[in-house]
Structure 1
Amino acid sequence: MEPPGLVVHGEAAPFSTALRSLLNNPQYSDVCFVVGQERQEVFAHRCLLACRCNFFQRLLGPKLGPGMPGPVVLSTVPVEAFLAVLEFLYTNSVRLRRRSAPVSFLFPLMGPVHPVPHTHSGLQRHVHLGPTHFHFCSQLCLEFVVKVLDVELVCEALQVAVTFGLGPLQERCIAFIEAHSQEALRTRGFLELSAPALLPLLRSDKLCVDEAELVLAARSWARVGAAVLERPVAEVAAPVVRELRLALLAPAELSALEEQNQQEPLIPVEQIVEAWKCHALRRGDAARGAPCRRRRGTLPREHHCFLDLPFK
């Protein structure tokens, strides 16, 4: 058997630079995308996209025939995000910047797949890209977001993680918020969280924030949601307020909360009653529906010595 030949590797940097020069370059391009609300033209090369991505292989396959096909319209994808994907396809690397590529721009490619077939040459095709087609890019974006995570970004990143089912990113975001709870709760991103994204936070024992502050943050969150959705505050808050640990509040705080709740309903009356039951019976397990576990940031109160569910 003839021995295998010697493989000679050229330098990677010049090769990558040469391919990067083709990025969004109309020279030799044979496909055009119309991207974003700005309808910006982005030029690409069918053979390169097809060999790098199965989705583009199906979208730009031989059935289109020779010549320049009609533009592919990606109206819901921000230009920055699409160019980042192309850069990765062309060079196997991508330069992401914190301000030019916010989290909400890095994952919008992962939406429902609804390619609209064209029937005549030259017609535009409107396409929405799907999650499985850009798994390689989503992993890259995940690494980028984790590296630049900060207080202002973390709630936005958490929302993206919940929306697209990115478990590792969700875990990192929750851990970050647990360590910087008070700062994160004051951000605009917190107020814009969806109920499914807020729930895992309110269920955490490791939040470094007192329950009184958490109740105030939940009320602010519900007010913003009520204004946006044009629904009552109590209705917006309903999916999450059960996770507030009212039994941790002192009697005076609970009375003040009850009075405020009468003016602006936020918490179901029966939930407040359950918290009072803990105080009356001096047992943390007396009200099964009222969590009594102390969080990492819970400030000590006199009645806490009667709570028999210690901090974990």
Structure 2
Amino acid sequence: MSNSHPLRPFTAVGEIDHVHILSEHIGALLIGEEYGDVTFVVEKKRFPAHRVILAARCQYFRALLYGGMRESQPEAEIPLQDTTAEAFTMLLKYIYTGRATLTDEKEEVLLDFLSLAHKYGFPELEDSTSEYLCTILNIQNVCMTFDVASLYSLPKLTCMCCMFMDRNAQEVLSSDGFLSLSKTALLNIVLRDSFAAPEKDIFLALLNWCKHNAKEDHAEIMQAVRLPLMSLTELLNVVRPSGLLSPDAILDAIKVRSESRDMDLNYRGMLIPEENIATMKYGAQVVKGELKSALLDGDTQNYDLDHGFSRHPIDDDCRSGIEIKLGQPSIINHIRILLWDRDSRSYSYFIEVSMDELDWIRVIDHSHYLCRSWQKLYFPARVCRLVLMVNKCFLFLFKVI
């Protein structure tokens, strides 16, 4: 007879692998109360269990049940206060069978389950649960998920939560979950440069959080607001009536705003790692230059003097150039451009960035170099809305990637 039954895993000749049968038999012990010698009580619900199985699967239970304390006494009842019955049921099933079903559970139960995996030392279960939570993030659950991920130092889940919140900042600020964030998690979110909501919206959300968490230190929370990014009207008509910031703090913000260069202000910007944001997909457009539509089409293979490239004329003051307006203020530190390379000519250029099209900061200066073909340009990360590229000699054509 063939041993290729679909329920049986394939094994090499001479090897017997009936782990699935072992899992079924041990899992059956969980259903009944036979041979149980310890009972857990969670939310007034009793969970009979077997010491030897728990100890074999978990170092925490090994120390608890065989460590000489009262919990190690025969037929002991052990109350657990820091979890729910639903989450503990899932954990026992995993301990006895190595399986857990996450898809039908509410987010709150999954986060309790994740907490148990962390507390009782199941790193593989912790990783698998975190990976699943990454796939179901939404506005309603991302804040509480981030709180738990931060508490247990789960880097992948924390990173995914941050990316989701950065891309949906205004919706996150108005969600019910935002009000329930711990102070540490709250500050970790709003202090990020990439949490790119309008500063007025951030202030109002923090104001609501302070009302909802009256016992916390409101002064520390309000220090996260970047007051110089708010208009004079907002400072006087929104911030001042709240009473959470002193008149001196408001006057200092007005002073900084009036005396600083625009590009020196601590702006927030969208951060989209490893993606080209100078595209129509992200709302970018060419506002200055000839053949504007050619710059953002991404075709770097088929181009000539008539199509595939944007370009600009050379003038005496070297201020005409190709100017790109990004879809939103963004954090950038890398630009790739393709200079015209269909002949032997070389080019000199510089690149400047701005938020308001008035104050420009030069991030790349190749005005004294001869360059051609692909340019991979790195500079300190900056928040900007506009990118200007100016050629100082010859006819200049380029494509941003």
Shorter-chain TM-score tier: 0.7 to 0.9
Aligned with residue 88 of structure 1, among 82, 85, 94: 94
Aligned mates of 1:277, 1:33 — CA distance in 2: 62
The TM-score with structure 2 as length reference comes to 0.59
Give, in angstroms, the shift of residue 77 of structure 1: 2.4
Give, in angstroms, the shift of residue 91 of structure 1: 1.3
Partner residue, 1:122: none
Aligned mates of 1:44, 1:62 — CA distance in 2: 17
Is the contact made by 2:140 and 2:177 (CA closer than 8 Å) also made in structure 1?
yes
Q: 1:207 to 1:65 in 2, by over 3 A?
A: closer
Aligned with residue 293 of structure 1, among 240, 250, 267: 267
Instruction: Tell me which protein shows more helix as a share of its residues.
Output: 1
The yes-or-no answer on 1:196 pairing with 2:184 is: yes
Q: 1:168 to 1:238 in 2, by over 3 A?
A: farther
Q: 1:208 to 1:103 in 2, by over 3 A?
A: farther
Aligned residue identity for 2:269: R
Aligned with residue 166 of structure 2, among 170, 175, 178: 178
Aligned with residue 250 of structure 1, among 206, 211, 231: 231
For structure 2, the residue ranges without an aligned partner over 5 or more in a row are 1-12, 271-327, 331-354, 362-380, 385-401
Aligned residue identity for 1:86: L
Aligned mates of 1:303, 1:31 — CA distance in 2: 69
Partner residue, 1:212: 200
Aligned with residue 144 of structure 2, among 145, 148, 156: 156
The yes-or-no answer on 1:99 pairing with 2:77 is: no
Give, in angstroms, the shift of residue 56 of structure 1: 1.6
Partner residue, 2:261: 283
Secondary structure in 1 matching 2:40 = strand
Aligned with residue 32 of structure 1, among 39, 61, 78: 39
Give, in angstroms, the shift of residue 254 of structure 1: 2.4
Q: 1:177 to 1:59 in 2, by over 3 A?
A: same
Measured on the aligned residues, the alpha-carbon RMSD in Å equals 3.3
The TM-score with structure 1 as length reference comes to 0.74
Give, in angstroms, the shift of residue 280 of structure 1: 2.4
Alignment of 1:64-143 (within 5 A): 68-96=74-102, 97-99=104-106, 101-109=108-116, 131=119, 133-143=121-131
Partner residue, 1:51: 56
| Equivalent pairs, count | 271
Q: 1:223 to 1:67 in 2, by over 3 A?
A: closer
* Stretches (4+) displaced over 4 A: 62-68, 302-310
Which has more radius of gyration? Answer: 2
Is the contact made by 2:27 and 2:96 (CA closer than 8 Å) also made in structure 1?
yes
Secondary structure in 1 matching 2:86 = helix
Q: How far does the alpha carbon of each residue in 1:74-120 deviate from its partner, in whole angstroms, 9 at most, with x for none?
A: 1332112212221111111211233275354224447xxxxxxxxxx
Aligned residue identity for 2:197: V
Is the contact made by 2:173 and 2:201 (CA closer than 8 Å) also made in structure 1?
no
Partner residue, 1:10: 18
Secondary structure in 1 matching 2:29 = coil
For structure 1, the residue ranges without an aligned partner over 5 or more in a row are 111-129, 230-234
Give, in angstroms, the shift of residue 258 of structure 1: 4.4
Aligned mates of 1:184, 1:157 — CA distance in 2: 13
Aligned residue identity for 2:64: L
Secondary structure in 1 matching 2:41 = strand
Q: How far does the alpha carbon of each residue in 1:155-202 deviate from its partner, in whole angstroms, 9 at most, with x for none?
A: 001111222333332222111101111222121110111221011211
Aligned mates of 1:174, 1:57 — CA distance in 2: 37
Aligned residue identity for 1:77: T
Aligned residue identity for 1:293: Y
